[in-house]
Structure 1
Amino acid sequence: MSTDKRIKINQLLSTHAPGVVYLSSWLVQQGYSLDLQKRYRNSDWFTSIGTGAMIRSGDKVGYEGALYALQKQAGLYVHPGGKTALSLLGKSHYLELSANKVTLFGGQQEKLPTWCKQHDWGVKLDYHSSSFLPANIGLVELELKTFSIKVSSAARAMLECLFLAPKHQELIECYQLMEGLNNLRPNLVQDLLENCTSIKVNRLFMYLAEKANHNWVKHLNMDKINLGSGKRSIVKNGVYDPKYKITVPVELANGEL
């Protein structure tokens, strides 16, 4: 390999943190042609992990490194959400979390690329593409060892949990998570609820927040939050709550937790 090409690869590796995925399309934008990338792979600087994605040879890369590439290089909003985000933020330490499943959310038009879905990250990626919340509201930057990624804030993560309930997540567990969120910022909660298009999520969020008796609830402007009309049967054989017109589990309604 020529001296110029060695200098170029050294510049790339010295300015980017280890543990991340490199997208071929992004590298082209940075001045690394497809031919040059091929030479780097042949020289064992990089190892392909699927079409359009590479890692440094010998580098250990987790799913976080894949998200780094999707967010920082591809400009996607795919991010850890729900229980996974709460766990990363240290908000769910008292709940048992699945060590082999990571919950991800992304915009309605966003899909995980094939290389990301098929590569073995050591965990299962449980991806949900939706538009019930705007993609750019309520995300926070989480500092990891050598780089950072965007994850859902605690408030957004709670809404994502309720989006999955009750089919993919138990409401009892959602309440246990809500109980720990006593310091949410009312203005962010207001912004999220005003922009949330799921009536089910808004009603459940307010029901659980009031049940947990959080102080920040009184600072919300309910007139601006869309709670829809009509009844919603969230679970079968539950208890009807007349205020939010939802049917919730008996144990939750009666406090038998």
Structure 2
Amino acid sequence: MLNIEARRQLKALLPVGMLATKPWLEAQGFNLHFLDNAVRSSTLTPLTPGVYLREGIVSWQGVVASLQRMTDTPVHVGALSALELEGVAHYLAGSTSPRITLCSAKALPRWLNRIAVSAEFEWQGTRRLWAENVMSDTYFIREHSWQVSLPALYYSCPEKAILELLLQVPDAISFEHVDQLMQGMHNLSPRKLDKLLRGCINVKVKRLFFWLAHRHQHAWLKHLSSENYALGTGKRMIAKGGRYESTWQITVPKEM
């Protein structure tokens, strides 16, 4: 038999659609004996060894929101996935399930891709992109209320997401795709961009950003001067066999 009070506490802690790991539940005060009994009585459903759902349907939003509240290291939906949540990008036509980019300084837990859910999770490390304080700054994070009364899902603001996406060029996303996305970025905040560019430690990303920004000449660009940011020295070959762009010292596709 399960202790009634402990069962009530579990229900409050683990609402419908949210999941939890055994170590996290233990840290909340539930002992192993209680957790074992909860599994035997079907109060908790194992999704993979050491990860439980109390009730409800497993969604990628619930998985990520659960991960975000259990981890000490900031984890945010970022890059193209964040732009999709913001409504300024769309999943590729014909895709069977969304690919969700999760940005964090530490690698994602292994259990994440062992759960049966209609999404694929991919990790983007942030140590070669952001200074440490950027990931913990809520100024660059937005909340997605994916379900009423449940913890919100946190994702990168568009200014942060586009810079995260540029890190993936050209291996995971093409020049043409990010160029199309940048074309629609009319409403970016120059104040946020300024802080992010100062907190960005990746020379390739910053040079690509300014090359794209100057291609489209959005109004916010006049508030940003490339001289204020550390753009490094020397050439960077980004597009193999491409054209050398002397202003930003990068190679870009010849057709662009």
Give TM-score, length-normalised by structure 1.
Answer: 0.88
Would the aligned equivalents of 1:104 and 1:127 in 2 still touch at CA under 8 Å? yes
Instruction: In structure 1, give the amino acid aligned to 2:117.
Output: W
Report what 1:188 is aligned to.
192
Q: Does 1:65 align with 2:65?
A: no
Q: CA deviation at 1:135?
A: 2.1
Identity percentage of aligned residues: 30
Report what 1:45 is aligned to.
43
1 CA distance for matches of 2:185 and 2:102? Answer: 21
Change (3 A) 1:215 1:150: same
Report what 1:22 is aligned to.
20
Q: Does 1:140 align with 2:142?
A: yes
CA deviation vs aligned residue, 1:196-223 (integer Å, no higher than 9, x gap): 1111100001111121111111112433
Instruction: In structure 2, give the amino acid aligned to 1:226.
Output: A
CA deviation vs aligned residue, 1:148-174 (integer Å, no higher than 9, x gap): 111111111111111000011101100
Counterpart selection for 1:86 from 65, 83, 88 = 83
Would the aligned equivalents of 2:98 and 2:118 in 1 still touch at CA under 8 Å? no
Would the aligned equivalents of 2:44 and 2:52 in 1 still touch at CA under 8 Å? yes
Would the aligned equivalents of 1:70 and 1:76 in 2 still touch at CA under 8 Å? no
Would the aligned equivalents of 1:21 and 1:65 in 2 still touch at CA under 8 Å? yes
Report what 1:234 is aligned to.
238
1 CA distance for matches of 2:221 and 2:93? Answer: 27
SS at match of 1:164: coil
Instruction: In structure 1, give the amino acid aligned to 2:145.
Output: E
- Structure 1: gaps (5+ residues): 253-257
Report what 1:224 is aligned to.
228
2 CA distance for matches of 1:90 and 1:75? Answer: 28
Give TM-score, length-normalised by structure 2.
Answer: 0.89
Report what 1:128 is aligned to.
124
Counterpart selection for 2:113 from 117, 121, 129 = 117
1 CA distance for matches of 2:19 and 2:251? Answer: 45
Q: CA deviation at 1:99?
A: 4.7
Report what 1:204 is aligned to.
208
SS at match of 1:37: helix
Would the aligned equivalents of 1:162 and 1:204 in 2 still touch at CA under 8 Å? yes
- Structure 2: gaps (5+ residues): none
Change (3 A) 1:94 1:42: closer
Counterpart selection for 2:247 from 243, 250, 256 = 243
CA RMSD of aligned residues (A): 2.0
Change (3 A) 1:208 1:171: same
Change (3 A) 1:174 1:98: farther
Would the aligned equivalents of 1:24 and 1:52 in 2 still touch at CA under 8 Å? yes
1 CA distance for matches of 2:50 and 2:216? Answer: 47
CA deviation vs aligned residue, 1:8-32 (integer Å, no higher than 9, x gap): 2233324543211112222222221
SS at match of 1:79: strand
Using the TM superposition, name which of 64-73 and 98-107 deviates more. Answer: 98-107
